[in-house]
Amino acid sequence: MRFCRFNDNRLGVVEGDQVRDVSTVLEELPSYRWPFPHGDVFMAHFGELRPKTEALAKTAPAKPLSEVKLLSPIANPGKIIGAPVNYRAHLDEVLDDSALHHGMKIKPIAEAGVFLKATSSLIGPSDAIVVDWPDRRTDHEIELAVVIGKRGFRIREEEALDHVAGYTIGLDMTIRGPEERSYRKSLDTFSVLGPWLVTADEIADPNNLNFELTIGGETRQKANTNMLIFNVQKLIEFASKAYTLYPGDVIMTGTPEGVAPVAAGDILHASFEGIGSIDVRVVGNWDRR
């Protein structure tokens, strides 16, 4: 099953190039008073709502996907976890290029740990990435994004995939420079998820998916998740050694070689085997004062 969020926070089931509006299922969600629970409320209840969602989709009105605005499929992740240099060839390119490492000692993921991106950086594919630090290089990073469906702490590698709700495409936008990753990767609009969530049962092996990022028809990044240093299961074990993973938490699994600058006017075309593709605009000044 593939679900998306679209337009004015509608919930949709995606079938081919159509989206079925199943938003009425959201009325089943419990209402909360402050303080709210950790994690994304829809993802926390997705398991029990799924049969009803699928039944509704059979008769719900359909719209062409091309006519809707796609939001991040996850509305309120409690955390967005990033994996630093989790592809060998990307590690090599970072070590070789001072514009990428900025004199910092780049350590492999086993020594570096994972990092967190601010949830306020999250947008969907129909929004635009804002690049407005002209003195800095801003790079694209295409990544497999894993969405947690079941709470867990100290999850073992062997049971890790039981905690996955599904997968989506992630863009981990990054300003290059000497600051901590959490600062450089957390600017508003610097985390993109979409176009929809593909449930885990549709992806036989998340560690064997081809993917590619192109700009203007030119290939920038192209790899397969079988090149991950820490695969999906290992990342879940590694991250949950430090903190409890809650439904809706997102793990961006790391990017392969080919990271390169973006500029206003670019359209990033990111595609993933088994998921689909997104086209995300890059814009310059964004007047938000």
Min. distance of Cβ 46 from Mn ion in angstroms? 26
138 binds Mn ion (CB under 5 A): no
141 binds Mn ion (CB under 5 A): yes
Between 53 and 191, CB nearer to Mn ion: 191
Question: What are the DSSP calls for 268-286, one per residue?
Answer: EEEEETTTEEEEEEEES--
Selected from 56, 145, 255, 256, the binder of Mn ion by CB under 5 A is 255
233 binds Mn ion (CB under 5 A): no
Cα 224 to Cα 73, 82, 87, 149, 173, distances in angstroms: 23, 18, 10, 24, 19
What is the SS3 assignment for 157? helix
Q: Which amino acid is at 144?
A: L
Region of 20-28, 95-103, 134-142, 223-231 interacting with Mn ion (CB under 5 A):
134-142
Between 46 and 87, CB nearer to Mn ion: 87
Region of 97-105, 122-130, 165-173, 261-269 interacting with Mn ion (CB under 5 A):
165-173
172 binds Mn ion (CB under 5 A): yes
Region of 23-31, 114-122, 137-145, 187-195 interacting with Mn ion (CB under 5 A):
137-145
Between 221 and 255, CB nearer to Mn ion: 255
Question: What are the DSSP calls for 118-138, one per residue?
Answer: -GGGEE-TTSEEE---TTS-E
What is the SS3 assignment for 29? coil
Region of 22-30, 36-44, 119-127, 254-262 interacting with Mn ion (CB under 5 A):
254-262
Listed in sequence order, the DSSP H helices in the chain are 41-57, 88-96, 98-101, 109-112, 181-184, 232-242
Look at the alpha carbons of 24, 27, 29, 33 in this order and tell me if their dihedral is positive or negative: positive
Chain residues that interact with Mn ion, rule: CB under 5 A: 141, 172, 255
